[in-house]
């Protein structure tokens, strides 16, 4: 695999990039902090990724830079075949509710930027015969919930986009995977109270990689979330209104 | 531009968590920061670095709820590996399990490993851990070439055997109280296989056990004895001595190591599960199974980490937890104090699931490093309140009389005056700590107990 990873310096992205490195895959890391990218590139190289692991600057909130970043990745990998996007923002809902700029930034990163990047990549991959796009959405996008609807709205949009992208490009050889994790113990969720079924990044990353390999289009991870969310989606509004989550 | 993910929360924002060591006693409350990037928060609030929580007692337990516990396990990047020399530079939270997973297939193994691989390199440094090869190779710290610390005032400091040497010697074995270890450079050991050539010998009593350990020391890099701590009278010290070495490529002949498999203890066992009779039964079966002299190949997992196969084995001791007691008795004091300690334990009837005996080589200059030339004993006692603590104090008195000491990575109840009389270089260590952390910002429940730090 020749994979471009956005968000590989931390959390689930770090775990997933390590799985790829362990198989000897070729990697190029995209992100905003050059020192962090470099440190993660060295880590992945030491763990078996094909050397050298490439790096290039990309800010998911600034689509103007995407062409350059994808070009750099193509040069580093001599034409990549896979894009993995784990990067994203999770703000405190109370802050987002009162800080329009922070909210805009969250939507830009989690929705607009991710959608634009995946769309551009789909075109690029289709033009050379195909490839794989794996982006991380969230169970939070499956239903509007009082505690997390701003983040959830961006993820709902992203999930819908990824579904359509799958239909539009599968015929042109591009496989699209939408990963919907539940609560994962990473820097993003630090300080939050752990709900049931909280997971570590490693098993979530393993599930995502297995789904990529199997050519699946959507997975919940841990798998129990598929049933939990099915139940939550079935709840009538008057019940949702009373629930505090 | 703002950071892509949340900044680490301040101590005031994270929820309070209950934290304990592996022995699950005592339990402390503290707030925990978990991040890939470990940094000291500004200000002067107390901090405590914590790794995988495998120290048994209160070394990684916060002394008060004002303490911010800095969990280092997410700072787990490899920075550099020199395949020519085996020098590995990595972040604080890399575990020995991860080092083995990544580097054993390339022919490298930790030069020193304790009885579990679920420990971070920074934790290994802070406790200056030892293993079955102590008689030959010394402690973990002997293989550390360089440490990067963030000192209490926020400065980055690099130290090692030949640079900032005093800080280095105070940090190795310093229980995380001299600064936040962020990077470790350590030498790995080249090995030809993932297998250990193991020999076992039966010992009918303590003298025979010590003789077997002594006789094996010259030719075997790894030695350890398991003893039946409940055996009475002349059978005291009866057990099995195991000695091993890394098997060569030829001996192994293409044999593949089974992937590590582990089971979980799903619930806390009832407190009565481990009693005098059940432990006696276990000890008898173990003795019977390993009775005959034997030689065979075992995987590194089976040899070094038998207990790692049972995740959460500490739950077998029930909700009240347990104390692990480990002391070293200097060779110069002879076998008498070893016998005295074992007799005292046998008389107490406090069941010990595991009783490990091992000969240690000479100690070294790290001020608070535990091992010294002599015999070390390690035993578990289910925690039963004051009676168990009283037993530890009694044992400590025997240890002090012999000129020995206890191991802080295991300790939860030793009295400060006892500990001070065990550690001849404590004053020097305190002086170095005072230079780097005059306000004692780095502190733990253990340092509050043993060093009189403010809670």
Distance from CA of A167 to the nearest CA of B (A): 31
Classify strands B144-150 and B180-190 as parallel, antiparallel or unpaired.
antiparallel
List the structure tokens of B108: 């490298």
pLDDT of residue B3: 35
What 3-state DSSP class applies to B47?
A: strand
pLDDT of residue B12: 58
Does residue B324 contact residue B379 with C-beta atoms inside 8 Å? yes
Please indicate, yes or no, if residue B83 is contained in any of the structural domains: no
C-alpha pair distances (Å), A36 with each of A31, B58, B98: 8, 34, 21
In terms of C-beta density within 10 A (0-12 exposed, 13-18 middle, 19 or more buried), how is residue B296 classed?
Answer: exposed
Q: Which CATH number characterizes residue B405's domain?
A: 3.30.70.2520
Residues of A tagged active-site: 151
pLDDT of residue B190: 98
List the structure tokens of B269: 């066992």
H-state helical runs in chain A:
11-22, 34-46, 66-77, 93-98, 100-107, 114-127, 149-169, 201-214, 224-234, 237-242
Which chain A positions have a beta carbon within 8 Å of B4's beta carbon? 31-32, 60, 87, 89, 109
Cβ of B4 within 8 Å of Cβ of A89? The answer is: yes
Cβ of B34 within 8 Å of Cβ of A47? The answer is: no
Per-residue pLDDT of chain B (455 residues; tens, 9 = 90+): 233 344 444 445 788 999 999 999 999 999 999 899 999 999 999 999 999 999 999 999 999 999 999 999 999 999 999 999 999 999 999 999 999 999 999 999 999 999 999 999 999 999 999 999 999 999 999 999 999 999 999 999 999 999 999 999 999 999 999 999 999 999 999 999 999 999 999 999 999 999 999 999 999 999 999 998 878 788 888 899 999 999 999 999 878 776 767 777 777 777 677 776 776 776 666 666 665 667 899 999 999 998 888 888 888 888 899 999 999 999 999 999 999 999 999 888 776 766 899 999 999 999 999 999 999 999 999 999 999 999 999 999 999 999 999 999 999 999 999 999 999 999 999 999 999 999 999 999 999 999 999 98
Does residue A176 contact residue A166 with C-beta atoms inside 8 Å? yes
Residue A48's domain comprises 2-242
pLDDT at A174 over 80: yes
pLDDT of residue B287: 63
List the structure tokens of B273: 């599960």
Distance (Å, whole) CA B325 – CA B312: 19
Cβ of B80 within 8 Å of Cβ of A87? The answer is: no
Please indicate, yes or no, if residue B300 is contained in any of the structural domains: yes
Distance (Å, whole) CA B327 – CA B378: 7
What 3-state DSSP class applies to B386?
A: helix
Classify each residue of A49-76 as buried b or exposed e, where b means 16 or more C-beta atoms within 10 Å of its C-beta.
Answer: bbeebbbbebbbbbbebbeebbebbbeb
Does residue B444 contact residue B26 with C-beta atoms inside 8 Å? no
Please indicate, yes or no, if residue B59 is contained in any of the structural domains: no
Residue B287's domain comprises 195-415
Region A147-175 average pLDDT: 97
What 3-state DSSP class applies to B298?
A: strand
Which chain B positions have a beta carbon within 8 Å of A59's beta carbon? 1
| pLDDT, tens digit (0-9, with 9 covering 90-100), for A188-239 | 888 788 889 999 999 999 999 999 999 999 999 999 999 999 999 999 999 9
CB atoms within 10 A of CB B325: 30
For A106, the closest chain B residue by CA position comes to B4
**Count of domains in chain A?**
1
CA A118 to chain centre: 10
Cβ of A89 within 8 Å of Cβ of B36? The answer is: no
List the structure tokens of B146: 């360089």
Using CB atoms, pick whichever of A39, A187, A190 lies closest to residue B77: A39
CA A143 to chain centre: 19
Which carries the bigger pLDDT value, residue A244 or residue A189? A189
Q: What DSSP assignment string belongs to A150-186?
A: HHHHHHHHHHHHHHHHHHHHGGGTEEEEEEEE--B-S
Cβ of B9 within 8 Å of Cβ of A40? The answer is: no
- CA nearest B195: which of B231, B244, B241? B244
Please indicate, yes or no, if residue B280 is contained in any of the structural domains: yes
Q: Which of A33, A40, A64, A190 to mutate to test the interface with B (most CBs of B within 10 A)?
A: A190
Please indicate, yes or no, if residue B393 is contained in any of the structural domains: yes
- ipTM computed for the complex: 0.93
Region A45-69 average pLDDT: 97
Residues near B29 by beta carbon (within 8 Å), at least 6 away in sequence: B16, B17, B18, B19, B62, B65
**Count of domains in chain B?**
1
For A108, the closest chain B residue by CA position comes to B4
Please indicate, yes or no, if residue B179 is contained in any of the structural domains: no
List the structure tokens of A53: 């692991």
Which chain B positions have a beta carbon within 8 Å of A60's beta carbon? 4
Distance from CA of A39 to the nearest CA of B (A): 7
Please indicate, yes or no, if residue B377 is contained in any of the structural domains: yes
Please indicate, yes or no, if residue B355 is contained in any of the structural domains: yes
Q: Which CATH number characterizes residue A137's domain?
A: 3.40.50.720
Q: What is the DSSP letter of B117?
A: S
Cβ of A42 within 8 Å of Cβ of B6? The answer is: no
């Amino acid at each position: 695999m020749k994979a471009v990873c956005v968000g590989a310096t931390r959390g689930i992205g770090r775990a997933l990039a390590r799985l790829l490195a362990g198989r000897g895959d070729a990697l190029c890391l995209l992100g905003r902090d050059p020192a962090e990218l470099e440190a993660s590139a060295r880590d992945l190289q030491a763990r078996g990724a094909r050397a050298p692991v490439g790096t290039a600057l990309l800010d998911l909130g600034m689509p103007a830079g995407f062409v350059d970043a994808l070009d750099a990745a193509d040069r580093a990998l001599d034409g990549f075949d896979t894009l993995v996007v784990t990067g994203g923002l999770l703000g405190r809902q109370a802050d987002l509710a009162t800080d329009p700029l922070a909210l805009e930034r969250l939507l830009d990163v989690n929705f607009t930027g991710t959608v634009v990047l995946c769309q551009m990549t789909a075109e690029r991959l289709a033009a050379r015969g195909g490839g794989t796009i794996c982006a991380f959405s969230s169970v939070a996008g499956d239903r509007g919930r009082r505690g997390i609807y701003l983040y959830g709205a961006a993820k709902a949009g992203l999930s819908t986009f990824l579904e359509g992208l799958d239909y539009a490009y599968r015929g042109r050889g591009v496989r699209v995977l939408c990963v919907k994790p539940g609560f994962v113990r990473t820097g993003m969720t630090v300080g939050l109270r752990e709900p049931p079924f909280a997971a570590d990044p490693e098993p979530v990353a393993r599930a995502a990689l297995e789904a990529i390999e199997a050519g699946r289009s959507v997975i919940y991870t841990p798998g129990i979330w598929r049933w939990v969310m099915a139940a939550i989606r079935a709840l009538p509004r008057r019940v949702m209104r009373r629930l505090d989550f | 531009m703002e950071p892509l993910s949340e900044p680490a929360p301040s101590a005031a924002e994270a929820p309070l968590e209950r934290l304990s060591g592996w022995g699950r006693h005592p339990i402390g409350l503290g707030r925990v920061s978990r991040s890939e990037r470990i940094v000291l928060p500004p200000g002067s609030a107390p901090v405590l670095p914590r790794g995988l929580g495998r120290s048994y007692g209160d070394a990684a337990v916060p002394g008060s709820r004002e303490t911010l516990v800095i969990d280092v396990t997410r700072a787990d990047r490899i920075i550099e590996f020199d395949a020519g020399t085996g020098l590995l530079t990595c972040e604080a939270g890399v575990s020995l399990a991860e080092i083995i997973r990544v580097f054993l297939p390339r022919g490298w193994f930790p030069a020193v490993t304790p009885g579990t691989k679920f420990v971070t390199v920074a934790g290994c440094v802070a406790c200056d851990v030892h293993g079955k090869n102590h008689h030959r190779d010394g402690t973990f710290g002997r293989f550390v070439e360089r440490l990067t610390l963030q000192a209490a005032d926020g400065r980055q400091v690099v130290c090692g055997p030949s640079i900032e040497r005093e800080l280095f010697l105070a940090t190795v074995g310093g229980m995380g109280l001299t600064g936040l270890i962020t990077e470790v450079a350590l030498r790995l050991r080249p090995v030809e296989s993932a297998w250990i050539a193991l020999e076992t010998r039966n010992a009918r009593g303590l003298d025979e056990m010590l003789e077997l350990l002594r006789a094996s020391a010259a030719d075997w890099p790894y030695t350890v004895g398991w003893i039946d701590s409940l055996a009475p009278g002349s059978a005291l010290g009866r057990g099995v001595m195991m000695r091993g070495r890394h098997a060569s490529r030829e001996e192994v002949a293409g044999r593949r190591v089974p992937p590590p498999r582990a089971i979980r203890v799903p619930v806390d066992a009832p407190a009565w599960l481990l009693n005098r009779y059940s432990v006696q039964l276990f000890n008898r079966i173990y003795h019977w199974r390993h009775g005959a002299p034997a030689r065979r190949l075992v995987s590194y997992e089976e040899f070094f980490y038998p207990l790692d196969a049972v995740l959460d084995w500490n739950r077998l001791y029930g909700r009240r937890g347990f104390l692990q007691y480990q002391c070293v008795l200097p060779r110069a004091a002879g076998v008498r104090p070893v016998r005295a300690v074992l007799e005292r334990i046998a008389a107490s009837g406090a069941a010990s699931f595991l009783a490990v005996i091992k000969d240690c080589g000479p100690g070294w200059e790290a001020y608070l490093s535990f091992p010294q030339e002599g015999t070390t004993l390690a035993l578990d006692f289910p925690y039963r309140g004051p009676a168990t603590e009283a037993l530890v104090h009694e044992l400590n008195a025997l240890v002090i009389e012999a000129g020995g000491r206890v191991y802080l990575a295991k300790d939860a109840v030793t009295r400060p005056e006892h500990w001070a009389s065990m550690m001849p270089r404590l004053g020097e260590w305190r002086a170095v700590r005072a230079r780097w952390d005059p306000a004692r910002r780095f502190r733990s429940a253990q340092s509050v107990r043993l060093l009189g730090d403010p809670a």
